[in-house]
Amino acid sequence: MQPKVTLYLDLDRTLFITDRVNELLDEACERLYGILPTKRRQDQPAYSTRVGDQHFYRFFDQLEQYGVARDRAVRELRQAFAGLDFLYPDARKLLAYLSLHQWPTVVLSLGDQDFQTFKYSLVPELQRLPIICTEALKGEYFRGHTETALIVDDRKIAGLPETCQGVLIDRTEHKLMHRQTDGYLVISDLTRVEELLRAYE
């Protein structure tokens, strides 16, 4: 039987250990291209786009400005990071479950297509899932969405339609799962999503 809900998973800080890649980019940009972390950070605002209360970063645009071609940077950085693990352990467990049950799942990421796709490409476990990059706030992305969806993110998404259940992943939360007064679900571990999905079977 076809599941009645599509799962949307955020990338940065939901599945993907973003702080780890950011640290490694500092080191790799200096080693490969001679770009000092202080210089990159100083210039970064020019490559940062604000959307609502969020920013996204056009990292490869910045590298191009320093004379590092996008294709080369993608290739060399992927090589530099090959074999490193950027998945949260609970994300790995959830992805294994989703794969086993062939659950309809989309990685939905707010940000620059090239940078987000680069991060996604570092995680072999994500390669069977489609990725959608949006430059709009997710509340806007889902506006008018009539399909039943479960949307997991480390940020609360304002303005979700009734067909979409928002789930906040907060790994600092001590309760396994609870519902806030506004109907938003908060989980402390991504494997909780499995039981949420089972309710739709």
- Does residue 64 touch Mg ion according to CB under 5 A? no
Q: Among 7, 12, 28, 122, which residue sits at the site for Mg ion (rule: CB under 5 A)? A: 12
Tokens at 152, concatenated: 């997991």
- The angle at the Cα of 88, spanning 31 to 13, to the nearest 5 degrees, equals 75
**Quick check: 10 and 152 in contact, CB under 8 A?**
yes
- Does residue 10 touch Mg ion according to CB under 5 A? yes
Tokens at 138, concatenated: 């997710």
Nearer to Mg ion, 12 or 90 (CB): 12
Q: Among 13, 101, 145, 156, which residue sits at the site for Mg ion (rule: CB under 5 A)? A: 13
- Does residue 112 touch Mg ion according to CB under 5 A? no
Shortest distance, CB of residue 70 to Mg ion, whole angstroms? 24
- Other CB atoms within 10 A of residue 14 CB: 22
- Does residue 20 touch Mg ion according to CB under 5 A? no
- Does residue 154 touch Mg ion according to CB under 5 A? yes
Cα separation, 55 vs 201, whole angstroms:
36
Binding residues for Mg ion, rule: CB under 5 A, are: 10, 12-13, 154
